[in-house]
Structure 1
Amino acid sequence: MKRRITLSWLLMALICLPMFAQMQDPVRFKTEWKNLSANEAEIIFTGTMDQGWHVYSTDLQEGGPTSATFNIDKIEGAELVGKLTPIGKEIKQMDPIFEMEVKFFEGTAKFSQKVKLTGGDYLITGYLEFGACNDQNCLPPTSVDFSYKGTVAAAASATSAPAKTEEAAAPAESTETVDSTAAVTTAPQTLQEATDYWKPVIKELSNYGSTEEQESHSWIYIFFTGLVGGILALFTPCVWPIIPMTVSFFLKRTKDKKKGIRDAWTYGASIVVIYVALGLAITLIFGASALNALSTNAIFNILFFLMLVIFAASFFGAFEITLPSKWSNAVDSKAEATTGLLSIFLMAFTLSLVSFSCTGPIIGFLLVEVSTTGSVVAPAIGMLGFAIALALPFTLFAMFPSWLKSMPKSGGWMNVIKVVLGFLELAFALKFLSVADLAYGWRLLDRETFLALWIVIFALLGMYLLGKIKFPHDDNNNKVGVGRFFLALISLAFAVYMIPGLWGAPLKAVSAFAPPMQTQDFNLYKNEVHAKFTDFDAGMEYARQNNKPVMIDFTGYGCVNCRKMELAVWTDPKVSQMLNDDYVLITLYVDEKTKLPEPIKVTENGTERTLRTIGDKWSYLQRSKFGANAQPFYVLLDNEGMPLNKSYSYDEDIAKYVDFLQTGLKNYKK
């Protein structure tokens, strides 16, 4: 048992360690030339991706993620047949952010382009461009260069020398290096390395420290969410009265007080093992890919909405959700018939079954919430926090039995906690309905409708806490305690806070739950931040002439988290004031499709690459100068192109962002 506890804490320590690498290489493609006949071949692109990442397929709607496309730089002695074709299992689902159906691959992506050889020498050079994302960020549009050349007999005499043709037409596989004959039709320009603006500052940036990955924050958040859920479960009528009875049993069953305490520790550890096993079972049953899909799957979100509404009704007193009594009776009788550690473990399992009517809705909400984060280990982490909070009182009261006298007695206050939880479950249920509403385009739950429902829910919660509303299991006590009064005050104030949102106020506190601002039909609020420049060199030169620091915003048209940052953080008055007045804001779109006047050839990590679009150029700048390739990515620079602070990625904490900007200003003034 001690080993299990140690392993659980070791797992928790490992997953909470920050990850410092910023450069990401989650998708790797290779190309292959395959002869289909004497005068027909196909170019096959096969990509493998890390867990949690996906590559988008072909022919996505305009305004959505980056589609996979086949692009030609030069073609001689051949012509394309049809379009780029995706091969394999293509996943289709509605994306609530883009409000369109998207198609993508997970694990492996494969595309094919057929080519007809017209005879004689042939030369085909070009690139595959694709987009890749995970739940936290997206890569800029990425290209996979290829170059194939050879000789083939004319179609009329193809059958006369098939062996020679096939041998000549089978070049070595190429994934990155472009053949020297694959020159683009116009002479490429080169980047002016003489300018200090483009000088790499990866080492200087790292000296300020690395920004933690968002996923480590989400895991810590999930653990503490579970911890809070466990604390709330303690104060329900199904758990609180059991604590003194269970502790007294362990202390009285043996004359050895140390053994009684040891049994109580074992009992608490058994609770942890049971609930963590439940979290692991969720992952094993659904699988990693299914958990990743839950966040945007409309059907799952509708089911979650209905489940949370049922849980809320149960907490309000409409009915009780209980497991079959024969289950708990069978486990209880088995516990009495056995001895030792097995007996204690079965007693803990009995507690889990008996308290299900109170803990079930809390566990259900927790598992629903953490499953939609897309993290494979999230259910286990959430259950670890829940179980620790639930098990700790049994152990502490066994170690300090005198504390039992100071425990509040059971009473109507526990039902108040259940009803409050019911209101909260009802409010969070609307979040999942909102995802389904966006996916199907029903427009039933636009932002103002969502906010109106939340205003009503939290206003009713405040009225309940003041004793103006009664539910079936509430007592007739008309007195309102000081604690209930302050909770009512908070709930009513929160309802009033949301009212300006009906006219377009950003409402930072609920931006993670409410539908996006574009669903708002009536919006009087205008406080947007616009970049002064969308060209790096021009913006840096302007900053030098006006003696101002620079903030570089690496973003993308299809970057969802970039839009979230702009809505939730940049609209803050303090942030917008600094961005507009104190900094020269340069926004660089890494998926900008506008062609460069002339292609640019660069050497990166020993490999020659061709930059064809403005987006390619800014993506190369981000990689070569700052050693990063994910968006959003914010970096502060002085007039010489040197960093003023560590970089900043996706984190909607406004206080952190303000500190990020203020630290840059302070370092610039030095």
Structure 2
Amino acid sequence: MKKFLCLWLLTLVACLGQAQILTPVKWKIKLDDSESVEKTLTFTATIDNGWHLYDMNLPEGGPVSTSFAFETLEGAKLIGNPVASKEATTVFDEQFNMNLRWFAKNVSFTQKIEVTDPKGLKLEGYVEFMACNDENCLPPEKEEFSFDKKNIDVEKTLAALAAKGETQPEEPLVADTSEETAEQAPVAEENKPVAPTKTANKTTTVGNTDLWEPVIDELKAFGDATITAADTSWLFIFFAGFLGGLVALLTPCVWPMIPMTVSFFLKRTKDRKKAIRDAMTYGVSIIVIYLVMGLLITGLFGASALNDLSTNAIFNIIFFLLLVLFALSFFGAFELVLPASWTNKLDSKADSTTGIISIFFMSFTLVLVSFSCTGPIIGTLLVQAASMGTAIGPAIGMFGFALALSIPFSLFAIFPNMLQSMPKSGGWLNSVKVVLGFLELALALKFLSVADLAYGWRLLDREVFIVLWIAIFALLGFYLLGKIKFSHDSDLKYVSVPRLFMSIISFAFAIYMIPGLWGAPLKAISAFAPPLYTQDFNLYDSEVHAAFDDYELGMEYARKNNKPVMIDFSGYGCVNCRKMEASVWTDARVKDLLEKDYVLITLMVDDKTKLPEPIQIEENGKKRTLKTVGDKWSYLQRSKFGANAQPFYVTLDGEGKPLGPSYAFNEDVSLYIQFLENGLKQFKSK
């Protein structure tokens, strides 16, 4: 789940982190038979929207590549290497400082084999793969496969062998595999975790199996939003739309229309109740029009396309250019207007019809007339809603926008005396547009930054981004003081108190960002600025390192010293884990809590270190083999906590019981401190 800037109040809204057992990649593996001795293994991956699957043979030091392991290969031999059905997308990743290749939506891999003994054919192995989206990287997963003589036509294959002149089957060839073939541990009870430990080079279960007991129900009892994965992003889209509607009311295209429209309804009939009813219908019509527009956008582009926008560099460039266009419009370079014929036609329809139809056409006329002011606001709202990956986001955002826009027309119709206290139209309405233009320009840089990081251009490193934001908000402060004037601005005879306070806020924000040029974290804008590692000159060095990287050892230390535990499920390939460490863990209060009050255990779910002995478990009715340290910690996260996305944080007592709800990716430092302090409070109460 992504954050966004409520442009109109300069308020940072932190989206709630989400994590659950995610399965964004589904595999279909089959053995394609033929009448020849050559067969084809086809591995087809279907990838959820917004996710990607890494390609084979990535450079060392990067995320886990897709690979194919043949643990048993009898009665056949491999021909060549696996081949992908399409070319992978190549993107330079700043975190790994290398080009990464991945596939989206779907891809198939084919591996040719030559059957040498049809009756003794036996193929067993697995596909190892890793999937990521713009927020999470899942730990490496394995999809196992098994085929034998039942999957081919033995007689036809024997005939093909005879025709080839090979009447005797060849000695079975065993595929080279890097995996150990040591004796596996016993199968665990279904869905019950096995807690491995080292005892004379044998894998056994620890005495205190409570450490591995699932605590999913306990987390839910705490109201854990991360585990229950309740999607609350639509609430933020709705409130962003509502705020946008309130701001749209203050533009010169809408504000003067309020008294004119309300007066029209009150004078249209002597029956005040009917006038109020007409004004209410007018407001409802506005909501219906914008809501239908939002639904049409989702219908035209499709939910899957909207989900892909936030991860697509091309779309982020388009969004950047679009917001710059909106900013120029608000600055007065031009006006975004719809054809006058549309407005005239709807106006005539409103005059020639009666009843609800007439009111509906009047509402549509308002929508078209006010487009030059509301268009950029709506456009920004739709960009934000689409980039958050919520399928019905545009409709929800438009509903919030229309609701705020329609309230004054109904409210003033019910209480007409309030019209007299409304501020009169004037130059201040145009100033609202210009302020919005500056904010549009600042937000546009966020989308350019996403594309810059994706393509590795290094045009918008962190210090460049901060310099531009300092310039934008400093110029906004000068504009509010009347030191900058655009062609369509009215003369400013004096600076009003509201303008003075807004300019102070703008200058203060610009000054606040200056230390960021030397590496200060600037946590207020950490969700928007490029990562700290893109900065060339950095004087800031305050990192937190875990005391333990082993679950059992860390828990044993915590019990002996009577301290609570903070488990950090992370990964070498987890970009958002690094973001949390850079923007949240560097906070002095967070650092102090983690280092002094907690036993911090970081578990890397993509750690490829071999376990002393493989562990065979049964999970969800399917046998799996844990072979690496990363496999073990990933299984711990899934089975004990019911989640598999990183970053994932949970506080425990010495017996492995949760002290509160878990915490996922959310760079709000205050919320993270609250999460840690809540765990301490619960621990002390025990």
Same fold (TM over 0.5): yes
Task: Identify the residue that residue 79 of structure 2 maps to in structure 1.
Answer: 81
Q: 2: distance between equivalents of 1:604 and 1:442?
A: 44
- Name the CA distance, whole Å, in 1 between partners of 2:422 and 2:649: 51
How many residues align? The count is 633
User: Partner residue of 1:185?
Assistant: 181
Give the drift of 1:234.
0.3
Deviation at 1:131, TM superposition (A): 2.1
The equivalences for 1:7-406 within 5 A come to 22-48=20-46, 50=48, 52-87=50-85, 100-106=99-105, 108-119=106-117, 121-150=120-149, 158-160=160-162, 185-189=181-185, 191=196, 192=205, 194-195=207-208, 196-212=210-226, 216-406=231-421
Q: Any conservation in 2 of the 1:186–1:599 contact (CA below 8 Å)?
A: yes
In the superposition, the TM-score normalised over structure 2's length comes to 0.87
Could you give the per-residue CA deviations for residues 641-668 of structure 1, whole angstroms, max 9, x where no partner exists? Answer: 2211121112222222111111111222
Query: Gaps (5+ residues) in structure 1?
Result: 1-17, 166-182
State whether residues 89 and 105 of structure 1, in contact with CA within 8 Å, keep that contact through their aligned partners in structure 2. Answer: no
SS at match of 2:147: strand
Residue of structure 2 in register with 1:541 after alignment: 556
Q: How far did 1:54 drift? A: 4.3
Query: Aligned pair in 2 of structure 1 residues 635, 82: CA closer, same or farther (>3 Å)?
Result: same
Give the SS at the match of 1:216.
coil
1:214 to 1:483, Cα distance in 2 relative to 1, 3 A: farther
Q: Which amino acid aligns with 1:292?
A: N
Q: Which residue of 1 aligns with 2:12?
A: none
- Whichever residue aligns with residue 82 of structure 2, its letter is L
CA separation in 1, counterparts of 2:255 and 2:424? 9
Please name the residue that 1:477 is paired with: 492
Alpha carbons of structure 1 residues 19 and 513: separation in structure 2 relative to 1, 3 Å: closer
Alpha-carbon contact 1:136-1:215 (below 8 Å) kept: no
8 A Cα contact 2:617 2:625, kept in partner: yes
- Which residue matches 1:552? 567
Q: Kindly indicate whether residue 583 of structure 2 is the aligned counterpart of residue 568 of structure 1.
A: yes
Q: Distance in 2 between matches of 1:473 and 1:552?
A: 58
Asked if the contact 1:42/1:113 (under 8 Å) is kept, the reply is yes
**2:511 counterpart residue number:** 496
SS of residue in 2 equivalent to 1:22: coil
Q: Return the alpha-carbon distance in structure 1 between the equivalents of residues 668 and 642 of structure 2.
A: 24
CA separation in 1, counterparts of 2:360 and 2:565? 61
How far apart are residue 82 of structure 1 and its match? 2.4
Residue range with higher mean Cα deviation, 328-337 or 599-608: 599-608
Instruction: Report the residue type matching 2:651 in the other structure.
Output: L
Residue 228 of structure 1: CA displacement? 1.1
Which whole-Å CA distance do the structure 1 matches of 2:656 and 2:404 have between them?
50
**SS state of the match for residue 36, structure 1?**
coil
Unaligned residue ranges in structure 2 (runs of 5+): 1-15, 168-178, 187-195, 197-204
Take 1:96 and 1:227, find their aligned partners in 2: how far apart are those partners?
Answer: 36
Q: Deviation per CA, 1:45-93: give whole Å up to 9, x if none.
A: 3344555544444344555554321112232332222223333696666
- Per-residue CA deviation, residues 586-625 of structure 1 (Å, 9 max, x unaligned), is 1111112222222111122333211111111111111222
Q: Can you list the C-alpha shifts for 1:138-161, whole angstroms capped at 9, x where unaligned?
A: 332111112223496999964549
When residues 328 and 157 of structure 1 are mapped into structure 2, their CA distance, relative to the original with a 3 A threshold, is closer
Work out the CA distance in 1 between the residues paired with 2:472 and 2:602: 40
Structure 1 residue 26 displacement after superposition: 4.4
After superposition, what is the alpha-carbon deviation per residue over 1:534-565, rounded to whole angstroms, capped at 9, x for unaligned? Answer: 11112222222322211111112222322222
Q: Which has the higher contact order (CA 8 A, sep 6+)?
A: 2
CA 245–214 in structure 1, closer or farther in 2 if over 3 Å, else same: farther
SS in structure 1 at match of 2:34? strand
Q: Distance in 1 between matches of 2:157 and 2:229?
A: 57
Deviation at 1:574, TM superposition (A): 0.9
Answer yes or no: is the 8 Å Cα contact 1:136–1:214 preserved in 2: no
Which moves more between the two structures, 552-561 or 482-491? 552-561
Cα distance in 2 for partners of 1:399, 1:19 equals: 42
Distance in 2 separating the partners of 1:21 and 1:509: 24
Q: TM-score, normalised by structure 1?
A: 0.88
State the SS of the aligned residue for 1:209.
coil
Instruction: Find 2:610's aligned residue among 582, 591, 595.
Output: 595
Match of 2:461 in 1: 446
Alpha-carbon distance in structure 2 between the residues aligned to 1:451 and 1:26: 35
Q: What is the DSSP-based 3-state SS (H/G/I as helix, E as strand, rest coil) of the residue aligned with 1:346?
A: helix
- Determine the C-alpha separation between the residues in 2 that align with 1:406 and 1:375: 40
Q: Deviations over 1:391-446 (max 9, x none)?
A: 11111111111111111000111111111111111111111222222233221111
224-233 vs 307-316, which deviates more? Answer: 307-316
Q: Which amino acid aligns with 2:287?
A: V
User: RMSD value over aligned CA atoms?
Assistant: 2.7
Superposed displacement of residue 481, structure 1: 0.9
